[in-house]
Structure 1
Amino acid sequence: MIGFMGILLSMFAMGMMQLVLATALPYIVNEIGGDSLYSWVFSSYMLSSIITIPIFSKLADIFGKKKFYLLGLCIFAFATIYGGFAPNMYQLVISRVLQGLGAGIITPVYLAMISDMFEESKRGKMIGLFGFVQLLSNILSPSIGTFITGQLGWHWIFFVTAIMILLAMALVSVGIKVLETSSQIRLSEIDIKGGLLFGSFCVALVGFSDMLSKHRKFDIESSLLLIGVVILILLFVSNEKRHKNPVIKLEFFKNKIIRRAIFSAIISGAIMYGLITILPLCGIAFMKQGALINESRILFFFMLGITVGMLIGGRELVKLNSMKMTRILWIILCFSSSLILYFLNRGNLMVLNTLNIIIGICTGAIMAMFLTNSQNAVNSEDRTVLSGLIQLSRYLGASIGVIILTSMAPEVKLINNTTQFLWVFVLLSLLCIAGLVNESI
């Protein structure tokens, strides 16, 4: 049980880090500069996780889950301490890359460790506790971020997280015995080339999005990068067709339900993490217009909605006609995001917070439902691989969404009013429409 508490603590710390940093980043930028790298503080974490998740999930099966879990925690702790001492935005981004590498090792291992630690009758209850920890992190993190930043300074966001991670390492080391490896896969059979090609494709795609959003035109550099993106995806597809144990099973894309779920994961990832990044900046605009709100409060309403949505999406809505219900949720998302355009221009904070809750509920419910729908569409032996693909898709969407949405927002020092975010929410509405179209075809 001591080891299980260590796993819970580490996952809470990692989840909290994302949201706490979102509320503190405007203050960090004002202190150390680097406004041009604002989006990369989030996207770099996602991208490095994308690269490591598919490879290390296989390596952990071969060489031992506990070893790799502790390795991931060690890398995450080092990166977090390094981030706390970062003197500029470039080094902060480097720390986030390293954090993402650690998270990419940890993420695919922890559920498998729980399956090894507990008998089948107790697994569901124990895994359910992780959902509770995630929901608790969603609700508390924005307020924690504002408190730590205001009372101790932003550096302590990293130091407090590092303390929790180090404590978790100690609990896991002492409380979990060495877990026997049961996988028959050999090292030579792991699709390392496919993982690297997929990671390179994601980095190139996000780099193309960043270049296009900054230059606001299609020039020679962006054209060359787009050619690189196409070449990488062709090489990746060719490799996956030939490999015995591919990182991504291309057969998944032949199934309409799974194909919808993958594209929904990309779009909802862009919406969720894009808003997590943008809403604290909107909070600054509202404060400058005299509203009694801060970065954490405006983000809190959205995360409250996400939390409620995940709960009802996973337990209640899935009992209904899930395909029809998912379409209805996308329609509500389209309507709500369109209303934001009107009320943002009027600076109506109360209505905006209400709409953020509704958007959060719909997004959270969709994320819970498309995972359930897709898992029901495959055999049991493919569900773990499919879950990993859904997670990778969400991270990819988040990386691109954060890059594009933040490029449309004003620099932190130039924020004066909420109308400066009008085009951000226009793009948000277009993403919601794309989600509805994907669910309808």
Structure 2
Amino acid sequence: MNSRTTVMISIVLAMLVASMDATIMNTTMPIIAKELGRFDLYAWSFASYMIASTILSPVAGRLSDLFGRKKVFGFGILLFLIGSLLCGLSASMVQLVIFRAVQGIGAGFMMPFPAIIAGDLFSVEKRGRIQALFTAMWGLSAVLAPLLGSFFVEYMTWRWIFFVNLPICLVSFFTLLPYKENYQPKKAKVDYIGAILFAVGVTFLLLDTIVKDNKILFFIVGAVFLVVFYFFEKKQASPIVPLSMFKNKMISRININAFIGTTALFGTASFVPLFLQNIAGLSLFMSGVALLGTAIGWMAAAVPAGKWILKYGYRILLIIGNILLFFTGALLTQLNPSHGFWFVFLVMIVQGLAFGLLTTVGMIGVQQLVGGHERGISTSFFMFCRNMGTAIGVTIMGALLTNGTNFMQGIHHLFLYGFIGSIFALLTSFLIQKNTAEEKRMAA
């Protein structure tokens, strides 16, 4: 096998374990909390992973610009492996929360690289197919995670939800070794202070979505750190997040649109299964199968996206993606007890088409609109905007669900919120300008 093939195996396996670990605990965590105690730390076992992985993604992308993709990606795989081992050996809930953070740091260092390395290796036309392959891994993990979680809890021990990562991570690491990257890193001083300011600021903003008390204080502290970070970065020769990148209005508006769209409706996958189980009476497995509609639609849009970009450009495709997202939001506001598997499955296909277009076209756009030495941070910052939007959106939806007078009212309110958010996402998509020079260059 050539190095391109081996690195594809490596990044696909890394995506699989990182995506499974984001969801596999959904079905097993009640059993884990019962054995380890400290149920008050239940939510933190999810939060520590989410916060660490979200914060580290843009930092990892920037470090790969400075030191090369292979070194940073390999470090992430090994750290994720160590975190998985420690999680499996946890003797208390406190340990599990801490080790989940270690695992999340590893995931943060791994998750941007499928898109970054694909941007280095493949043309725009082929990149849509590669993104579809990555989407297939997310779809596979959505089904595998609850199945594996239930199997390990029933027939072995919950600790195997973490131990199963070890052989997969080892294969991912060793298949990465033969890779000879064609990207030449641009050596520069690492902006450690900027990275710390950014990490602290984002941590407090994410904690604000989780904690119940002192929410205003957490928001203010996070905002202050990010303001200090902004002014500090303006003075750096090699900032951890190059602010010059945002002078490109198209990149800024693509990122804003990605943030609003995911804040609005990307959290659907967290709440549709609850409706199917509690109202439609479907099993855990069948409610997971319904989410495969998202993967099907996503792949259908992502595979030809590269060719469509060359033919139609970014702007029109992003507008079409947001129209589909708006249509999804409208359908979900009509969800009622008479709806079952097939209605939800078809809506998920439409939503998959929407996010397949928005994510693939947006990802390729932010990669192509910067130089090679900023591709890592540009790609990972796009992912960061999507992750932040998802975290905030899921929190708002969860609050609307729990504050409803009954379950169906909560479901109605959270999807009404998603629909309103999709309107704002659609409006911002019209602000994305046509980049004639870049589109002519790609077509040449």
Answer whether TM exceeds 0.5 for this pair: yes
1:392 aligns with: 384
1:301 aligns with: 293
2:311 aligns with: 319
- 1:244 match: secondary structure: coil
Question: For 2:124 and 2:369, how far apart are their aligned partners in 1?
Answer: 21
Question: For 1:115 and 1:435, how far apart are their aligned partners in 2?
Answer: 26
**Residue 45 to residue 268, structure 1, CA distance change in 2 (3 Å):** farther
* Range with greater deviation from structure 2 (157-166 or 374-383): 374-383
Question: For 1:317 and 1:125, how far apart are their aligned partners in 2?
Answer: 8
Matched residues, number: 423
Matches within 5 A, 1:59-208: 59=63, 66-86=70-90, 91-107=95-111, 130-131=130-131, 133-153=133-153, 154-173=158-177, 175-176=178-179, 182-183=184-185, 185-186=187-188, 189-208=189-208
Deviation at 1:125, TM superposition (A): 10
The answer to whether the 8 A contact 2:116-2:379 is kept is no
What are structure 1's unaligned runs of at least 5 residues? 216-220
AA of the residue aligned to 2:415: F
AA of the residue aligned to 1:160: V
**Residue 386 to residue 291, structure 1, CA distance change in 2 (3 Å):** closer
The answer to whether the 8 A contact 1:8-1:133 is kept is no
AA of the residue aligned to 2:425: G
Question: For 1:111 and 1:324, how far apart are their aligned partners in 2?
Answer: 22
| Cα-to-partner distance string for 1:187-238 (whole Å, 9 max, x where unaligned) | xx22221122112121111122334xx46xxxxx223222212311210110
The answer to whether the 8 A contact 1:7-1:110 is kept is no
In percent, how many aligned pairs have the same letter?
A: 23
- 1:350 match: secondary structure: helix
* Range with greater deviation from structure 2 (160-169 or 60-69): 60-69
Question: For 2:425 and 2:92, how far apart are their aligned partners in 1?
Answer: 37
Higher helix share: 1
Deviation at 1:361, TM superposition (A): 1.0
AA of the residue aligned to 1:190: V
The answer to whether the 8 A contact 1:47-1:399 is kept is no
Deviation at 1:240, TM superposition (A): 1.4
**Residue 293 to residue 106, structure 1, CA distance change in 2 (3 Å):** closer
Deviation at 1:263, TM superposition (A): 0.9
Deviation at 1:260, TM superposition (A): 1.3
Question: For 1:6 and 1:340, how far apart are their aligned partners in 2?
Answer: 41
What are structure 2's unaligned runs of at least 5 residues? 432-444
Matches within 5 A, 1:343-422: 343-379=335-371, 382-410=374-402, 420-422=410-412
TM-score (norm 1): 0.80
Deviation at 1:427, TM superposition (A): 2.5
AA of the residue aligned to 1:32: I
C-alpha RMSD of the superposition = 3.8
**Pairing 1:333–2:325 present:** yes
Question: For 2:325 and 2:117, how far apart are their aligned partners in 1?
Answer: 37
The answer to whether the 8 A contact 1:43-1:398 is kept is no
Question: For 1:240 and 1:70, how far apart are their aligned partners in 2?
Answer: 28
| Cα-to-partner distance string for 1:94-129 (whole Å, 9 max, x where unaligned) | 33322221133334567777899xxx7x88899778
Question: For 1:114 and 1:370, how far apart are their aligned partners in 2?
Answer: 14
Deviation at 1:272, TM superposition (A): 6.5
| Cα-to-partner distance string for 1:249-284 (whole Å, 9 max, x where unaligned) | 333434332221111222344456523333333343
1:426 aligns with: 416
**Residue 9 to residue 156, structure 1, CA distance change in 2 (3 Å):** farther
Deviation at 1:337, TM superposition (A): 1.2
2:254 aligns with: 261
1:310 aligns with: 302
**Residue 114 to residue 259, structure 1, CA distance change in 2 (3 Å):** closer
Deviation at 1:71, TM superposition (A): 2.5
Question: For 1:384 and 1:292, how far apart are their aligned partners in 2?
Answer: 38
* Range with greater deviation from structure 2 (361-370 or 254-263): 254-263
Deviation at 1:77, TM superposition (A): 0.6
* Range with greater deviation from structure 2 (145-154 or 234-243): 145-154
